[in-house]
Amino acid sequence: MYLTSCSILLSNRVRSGEDGQFATGLSRLRNLILIALVSALAGCGFQLRGSADSATVLTALDVSATQTYGELVTNVERTLTQQGIAVNPKGGADYRLHLLGERATRRSVSTTNQVSVAEYVLLLAIDFQLFDRAGDQLLPLTTISAERIYSFDRGSFVGSSEEEALLGREMQADIIQQIFQRLDATLKDTLATPTDRVSPTQ
């Protein structure tokens, strides 16, 4: 089960034949169950999409970050390790992924008749770069983002907050998968057709 498939399921809405409040409750319950399943799969070491179909050129990777001990770094390193990639090996790797940070935002997309927020859109963006052992830049500053929409129930603040947190973890897992694919594609292209590389400014 791929994360994107789960995301499509999460976007479905209960639209007819049900009372609005009851439909919202069912939708939230369904979303929480699906997100929990996605989180469980991620925690158990799900396989990155496409990694089973073609061999990756990545065997080892150094990982650095602006926030060295943040949750993002931990999750990236764990995901890479689960794919058989040596992270920060002794003696260093030929390539280094630098995570500049992540940005999470939230905005309303619809309101109820009482002018209270009914739905929010969550956006998570992660910035990163890729360098070789000499410090030459192979991939300039790149941003990958993901978004989700969820219903907010003023009568169940705790439930809404838990759903938002779970969606945040799902988006992060989805972006980490995309980062891996971007790195792999960049290295394959670089090894196939060497080009002039940009030296970092810092």
pLDDT of residue 125: 97
User: 156: closest CA among 62, 10, 17, 21?
Assistant: 21
- Ordered by where they begin, the domains of the chain are 3-192 (3.30.160.150)
Q: Output 46 or 63, whichever has higher pLDDT.
A: 63
- Contact yes or no for 94/126 (Cβ under 8 A): no
pLDDT of residue 159: 64
Helices and strands in the chain, H and E counts? 4, 5
- Contact yes or no for 146/173 (Cβ under 8 A): no
Place of tokens 């007819």: 16
Place of tokens 């002794």: 90
pLDDT of residue 124: 97
Residues 71-109 have pLDDT tens digits of: 999 999 999 999 899 999 999 999 999 999 999 999 888
Mean pLDDT rounded to a whole number for the chain: 76
Residues 7-36 have pLDDT tens digits of: 433 343 333 334 444 445 555 555 556 555
| Pair type for strands 95-111 and 117-132 | antiparallel
Residues 102-149 have pLDDT tens digits of: 999 998 887 766 666 678 899 999 999 999 999 999 999 999 999 998
- C-alpha 98/C-alpha 75 separation (Å) is 14
